[in-house]
Amino acid sequence: MNENCIFCKIISNEIPSSKVYEDDKFLAFLDIHPVSNGHTLLIPKSHHEWMVNAPDELISEIYKMAKKLMIEIKEKNKCEYVKLSVIGKDVPHFHIHLIPEYNK
């Protein structure tokens, strides 16, 4: 944990979030500035500033979790598909954006 990291504070429940999924390794919650309805952030509970700093095993596991969540988000939100994006610029805690895309 990093005491100055907003995502670490969300993990420790210091800051509230709209949780979508949680287990011992990962937390998924709705983005507070969504690109579309259902925009979800998936983060590891261990603090890694960037994806390149995360262990390979964690990267493999988080992408498997992202796939599972993409299927659930697609079904729940009745969207066309779910985009995946790793930007990592705004918050220095490795995270994945899962962004539903809807028919226009």
Positions marked catalytic: 95
Retrieve residue 66's tokens.
């992202």
77, HSE (Cβ side, Cα atoms, 13 Å): 23
In degrees and rounded to multiples of 5, residue 19 shows phi and psi of -70, 140
Using DSSP, state whether 102 is helix, strand or coil: coil
